[in-house]
Amino acid sequence: MTVRTAELLMAITTLIVSLGLMLNVYTDDLSIGWVRGRGPGAGMWPFWLSAGMALASVATLVRWAQKKTPESRSTDPYISKDTIFLVSISAGSILALLIMMTFIGTYLALIVFMLFFVRFMGRHSWPMTLAFAIGTPIFVYLLFEVALTKYLPKGLPIFEDGFLWIDNFRYEWFY
């Protein structure tokens, strides 16, 4: 896909999103007009701003057709093959991290995440990999659960139970 095609697709997407936002406000029965003696109704701000977004998208489309923006003239590839690999694997790894956090809990997920990045992507030595895979969850536990008193997701009950003894231990000994 060239940058020119990407520019067109993006402008069409932004136009559809803007129209969708306008429709969303409109169908929610929010008053998009001027309320006498009070000024704008609840829906006026998002509705007309979305209308502005739609207009801006149309302007980009027009400029695309006239080849006015540098992007609409460029025939370079939008994303090179190497980049697709690197970017999608990074974004994918976050996606995997979020899914794993929901099911097996933050800490096990972080271990897998670190193993993947440090060993598989970075090809670092095993001692380095283990230091990251074990160090990160410990650091995260101390920072978020102990210092910031946040209860991070522990996953399904079976995994959550497995972690409770750490908290129990902490509360028994330190409070």
- CB 106 to another protein: min, Å: 7
- CB 162 to another protein: min, Å: 19
Show the site string, 19-38: x = touches another protein by CB under 8 A, - = not: --x--xx--x-x---xxxxx
Task: Tell me if 111 contacts another protein by CB under 8 A.
Answer: no
Task: Tell me if 159 contacts another protein by CB under 8 A.
Answer: no
In this structure, what token pair is assigned to residue 160? 């959550």
Measured from the CB atom, the residue of 28 and 160 that comes closer to another protein is 28
Half-sphere CA count of 13, side-chain side, radius 13 A: 6
The DSSP H or E segment spanning 40 is strand 39-40
Measured from the CB atom, the residue of 139 and 172 that comes closer to another protein is 139
Task: Tell me if 125 contacts another protein by CB under 8 A.
Answer: no
Half-sphere CA count of 141, side-chain side, radius 13 A: 16
Rounded Cα distance between 21 and 50, Å, is: 6
